[in-house]
Chain A
Amino acid sequence: MGTVVSFSLREDTTTEPGEAQARRERIDEGVRRAQAKLQWVDDVFSTWKPDSPVSRLRRGEITVDEAPPEVADVLELCRRAREASEGWFDAWAMPGGVDPTGLVKGWAVERALDELKSAGAPAAMINAGGDIAVFGQPAPGQPWRIGIENPLAMDRLLLTADLPGPGAVATSGSYQRGEHLVDPRSGRPTTELLLATVIGHDLAYADALATGLYTSGGKMLERLALLAGYHGFVMDGRGNIHASRGFPITLRGAEAVSA
């Protein structure tokens, strides 16, 4: 993926040192498994590695049935995300053949987070290049406070969003890597918005929906309001913020949040 992935895990310590040590070792093993999972996903799904199963699938050298079964799972999620986004996220509209990249990073992070859960971590956050998934609470009773970076001033945050429990935050924009998102309806790069963020239950969908919301130029906000468990906002080219109707997450720092 070529992206920095950071893991934050809450560690509850007790006065019993033996137990604390055992717990620490379990969680360390969980982090190792989570990292191995991310590496495995990259090996299978990378469109940059010419020998990855997905690259071979794109060239028509293998069928979906010949790829690892997770490829079919991810493509099914891509189908659902295409439907949920009314076509604004479309893994089949990409140049060079089917490309699940817009969803697979979020999916990989959720799988890595599963490993941390299994290892007994009471709470954890994974941030993969700005796409974030969390479970638990960073401290008892405390929400995860996620900053959304400001595309107009890189040294300041645009606003912060509080996640009281499990959830995901994904942001799309063109300001970091140049124009890298393609409008599936016209095939041209999109540039209208500075930023699109989706907050929801699962980072696989949030990642795909943020891509769709961005490519839609904000038109997808109305659709997003109809999707259970997902909400979003965009920053337009003039720096105004528009949120989906009923946006329930506590936002701090936003000067104007409109429906």
Chain B
Amino acid sequence: MKRSAIVIAATAAGLAAVISFKPHGVAGGGTTAATTAALTTGNANVSGAQTVTGSVQQLNGGLGDIQVKVTASNGKIVSVGMAQMNLHGPQSQQISNNVIPQLEQQVMASNGGPIHGVSGATYTSRAFGSSLQAALSQLKGGANAQLAAAGNGNGGLVQSQGGHDD
């Protein structure tokens, strides 16, 4: 029978990552998204889970730097959080309280939950995307993770590596 899967690519300034997962409510699809563990804690006790950290990325305008941490299990991101976050300047509080949680929320929302996308006011998030990309790329070929990353040189597309077979 025909099955559907959703493939996601996140890109920031030419950097991209693709993850694939099963959508909800598809007949025959055996997977329900193991959604949100606490967004800000990356050490979920999930069987087969793998936690990786991205590169440290500078925020635009000298606002500080961040490093994204991703935990994945069975091809799904189970949590996204910050491995480290060093912010300074008057906007630090807004970034840590508003911008970062929203980016985490967007990643999780794209991960197969009942919400397909989140609409909100725009934000500057190049650093988040770059660090996320770096984290996802480490999941390539991981034990159970089917999150795939294969950068093509100059920060291009990252391809998923085949669908789920459950």
**Smallest CB-CB separation from A133: which chain B residue?**
B117
CB-contact partner of A11 in B6, B16, B128, B129, under 8 A = B6
Q: Does B85 contact A (CB under 8 A)?
A: no
Q: Does B98 contact A (CB under 8 A)?
A: yes
How far apart sit A134 and B103, CA to CA, in the bound complex (Å)? Answer: 20
Determine whether the beta carbon of A5 is less than 8 Å from that of B118: no
* Interface set of A (CB-CB < 8 Å, partner B): 2-14, 20, 24, 27-28, 31-32, 35, 38-39, 105, 122, 125, 127, 129-132, 134, 138-140, 142, 144-149, 151, 154-155, 157, 160, 169-178, 195, 197
CB-contact partner of A31 in B4, B9, B12, under 8 A = B9
Contact indicator per residue, chain B 137-160, by CB within 8 Å of chain A (1) or not (0): 000000000000000000011011
Q: A8 and B120 in contact (CB under 8 A), knowing A31-B18, A32-B157?
A: no
**Smallest CB-CB separation from B152: which chain A residue?**
A32
Q: A7 and B119 in contact (CB under 8 A), knowing A32-B157, A139-B26, A145-B114?
A: no
Q: Find chain B residues with CB under 8 A from A160 CB.
A: 115
Contact indicator per residue, chain B 1-30, by CB within 8 Å of chain A (1) or not (0): 011111111111110101010011110000
CB-contact partner of A139 in B25, B102, B105, B110, under 8 A = B25
Given contact pairs A13-B2, A139-B4, A177-B124, a sample of 16 additional A-B residue pairs in the complex whose CB atoms are under 8 Å apart: A2-B12, A5-B11, A7-B18, A8-B110, A9-B8, A13-B4, A24-B162, A35-B16, A127-B119, A131-B119, A144-B117, A147-B117, A173-B121, A176-B98, A176-B99, A176-B123
Determine whether the beta carbon of A169 is less than 8 Å from that of B119: yes
Q: Find chain B residues with CB under 8 A from A146 CB.
A: 115-119
Determine whether the beta carbon of B115 is less than 8 Å from that of A28: no
Determine whether the beta carbon of A131 is less than 8 Å from that of B163: no
CB-contact partner of A35 in B11, B117, B126, under 8 A = B11
Determine whether the beta carbon of A4 is less than 8 Å from that of B125: yes
Q: Find chain A residues with CB under 8 A from B25 CB.
A: 139, 142
CB distance from A212 to the nearest CB of B (A): 15
How far apart sit A171 and B117, CA to CA, in the bound complex (Å)? Answer: 12
Q: Does B122 contact A (CB under 8 A)?
A: yes
Most chain B CB within a 10 A radius of its CB, from A9, A12, A122: A9
Q: Does B101 contact A (CB under 8 A)?
A: yes
CB-contact partner of B115 in A32, A147, A175, under 8 A = A147
How far apart sit A194 and B60, CA to CA, in the bound complex (Å)? Answer: 25
**Smallest CB-CB separation from A9: which chain B residue?**
B7
How far apart sit A160 and B118, CA to CA, in the bound complex (Å)? Answer: 9
CB distance from A203 to the nearest CB of B (A): 11
Determine whether the beta carbon of A175 is less than 8 Å from that of B116: no
**Smallest CB-CB separation from A198: which chain B residue?**
B119
The 16 sampled A-B contact pairs (Cβ below 8 Å) are: A3-B122, A4-B103, A5-B11, A6-B9, A9-B8, A10-B5, A14-B2, A24-B162, A28-B159, A31-B16, A35-B11, A127-B110, A139-B24, A155-B39, A169-B119, A170-B119
